[in-house]
Amino acid sequence: MENYIYFNPTKIIFGKGTHSLAGEQVLAFGGKKVLLHYGGGSIKRTGIYDTVVASLDTAGVPFVELPGVVPNPRISLVREGIELVKRQGIDFILAIGGGSVIDSAKAIAFGSLLAPGKDIWDDYFMDPTATIPAAMPLGVVLTIPAAGSESSNSCVITNEDTGFKRGVKTELYLPKFSILDPEVSYSLPPFQTACGAIDIHAHMFERYFSAVEHTDVTDQLLEGAMRSVIDLAPRILKDPRNYGYRAEMMYAGTIAHNNSLNPGRGGGDWGSHQIEHELSGRYDMTHGAGLAIVIPAWMKYVSRKHPEKFVQYAVRVWGVTLPPSDTFGVIDAMIERQEQWYRSLGIKTTLSDLGYDDTYFQDMAEKALVNKGSIGSYCRLGAQDIVEILKLAL
């Protein structure tokens, strides 16, 4: 195990009927004027908007609205939010949505407090060495279990002008509270449900592939959590209004990304995520759908260089029963099972399936490495490695 610091003060309020607590929580955490940040009309159709607004009214907290967050959230809307916060004297951000809305809210939360002359995109998202100095308090009402952003230190934004999709990390914008009512996910379409499950599994998977030794406890935690997600996803697609399944998946989404399952592992690999960011930045794909294409290709490529952890993953998570001495037989059987799992959820596993070819492979590889020498930690990848992985994804 490596040395680590774990700090996650987000208060998770989980369960049926919890949306009406939003107003009192904002008040409890000192909010006096709120930016209500969300996406489109779905929170109005489902009634979440009305419940949250009523709770703010009851708490006597005024608010200003900024809707319009789209998947792969844009830096332009973040900039608009920052201006609005400054102009209106807002002191608390309340995000109602999934990962895109929460990430947009996180960016506004720290962007609003930057020193004059500092640019949120150039000086923070594009500079991997930058340290975020401060952030406004943030609360979350989660509507999609997937990204885990409701209690993660991560924030990923797309610059629609340059095509770059980049993330920053800080504990400063960890939400003060996140309200998770699993019933919100009843109405998610199958595609969103499947992409969410794939993203949740991927957050555990990235943390699992670590080269650090003596991590048996966290190996077992991650393995158990991944087995559960693999088992739950098809059950939910068959029985989308089953509270128990939806609740377990929503809980899994949170622990997948709050770092509680991976202390001391050195942070995980994240090579697949960074390659996927190039795909979804270029083609505006849903993140989970992109992962279902990149991860099998990443496994095919990386398992040939560093097979060790893949055998344990195959045996313990996917129950491959071939003799462990047949290293590549075990690994290939596992990759086939994982691809089959993605496909059973209705998600494509190759770029060709979606009509994309190799035109931008070199460009994507170069973009992935801007300001960085390599990506990945279990296996470090350079430009040529990324291109080879993308070829395996065709």
Measured from the CB atom, the residue of 221 and 275 that comes closer to a second copy is 221
Nearest to 93 by CA among 52, 63, 126: 63
Of 15-23, 31-39, 268-276, 304-312, the segment contacting a second copy by CB under 8 A is: 15-23
Q: Which SS3 state, helix, strand or coil, does residue 97 take?
A: strand
User: Is 238 near a second copy (CB under 8 A)?
Assistant: no
User: Is 312 near a second copy (CB under 8 A)?
Assistant: no
Of 215-223, 277-285, 331-339, 378-386, the segment contacting a second copy by CB under 8 A is: 215-223
- Nearest-approach distance from CB 235 to a second copy, in angstroms: 10
Q: Which of 34, 138, 221, 314 is close enough to bind a second copy by CB under 8 A?
A: 221
Of 63-71, 82-90, 187-195, 237-245, the segment contacting a second copy by CB under 8 A is: 237-245
User: Is 144 near a second copy (CB under 8 A)?
Assistant: no
In whole angstroms, give the CA distance from residue 318 to residue 1: 25
Contact 75, 157 (CB under 8 A): yes
Instruction: Estimate the crossing angle of helix 216-238 against helix 190-208, to 10 degrees.
Output: 170
Measured from the CB atom, the residue of 28 and 84 that comes closer to a second copy is 28
Q: Which of 107, 225, 289, 291 is close enough to bind a second copy by CB under 8 A?
A: 225
Instruction: Estimate the crossing angle of helix 216-238 against helix 243-255, to 10 degrees.
Output: 140
User: Is 334 near a second copy (CB under 8 A)?
Assistant: no
Site size toward a second copy, by CB under 8 A: 47
Q: Locate 76 and state its tokens.
A: 């332009």
User: Is 240 near a second copy (CB under 8 A)?
Assistant: no
User: Is 20 near a second copy (CB under 8 A)?
Assistant: no
Nearest to 240 by CA among 197, 193, 198: 193
Chain-centroid distance of CA 286 in Å reads 11
Q: Which residues pair with 63 in a beta bridge?
A: 34
Q: How many CB atoms neighbour CB 175 within 10 A?
A: 27
Measured from the CB atom, the residue of 79 and 227 that comes closer to a second copy is 227
User: Is 36 near a second copy (CB under 8 A)?
Assistant: no
Distances (CA, A) of 196 to 73, 220, 262, 277: 16, 22, 20, 16
User: Is 357 near a second copy (CB under 8 A)?
Assistant: no
Region at 67 (left for phi over 0; alpha for psi -120 to 50; beta for the rest):
beta
Site string for a second copy, 261-300 (x = CB under 8 A): x-xx------------------------------------
User: Is 8 near a second copy (CB under 8 A)?
Assistant: yes
Nearest to 124 by CA among 165, 167, 86, 74: 167
Distances (CA, A) of 333 to 47, 280, 282, 310: 45, 28, 31, 11
Q: Which of 117, 213, 238, 323 is close enough to bind a second copy by CB under 8 A?
A: 213
User: Is 2 near a second copy (CB under 8 A)?
Assistant: yes
Q: Which of 215, 280, 303, 338 is close enough to bind a second copy by CB under 8 A?
A: 215
- Nearest-approach distance from CB 178 to a second copy, in angstroms: 10
User: Is 183 near a second copy (CB under 8 A)?
Assistant: no
User: Is 236 near a second copy (CB under 8 A)?
Assistant: no
Q: Which SS3 state, helix, strand or coil, does residue 287 take?
A: helix
In whole angstroms, give the CA distance from residue 210 to residue 268: 5
User: Is 361 near a second copy (CB under 8 A)?
Assistant: no
Exposure string for 121-149, b = 16+ CB within 10 A, e = fewer: beebbbeeeeebeebbbbbbbbbbbbbbb
Residues found near a second copy in the complex (CB under 8 A): 1-18, 182, 213-218, 220-221, 223-225, 227-229, 231-232, 243-245, 247-248, 251-252, 255, 260-261, 263-264
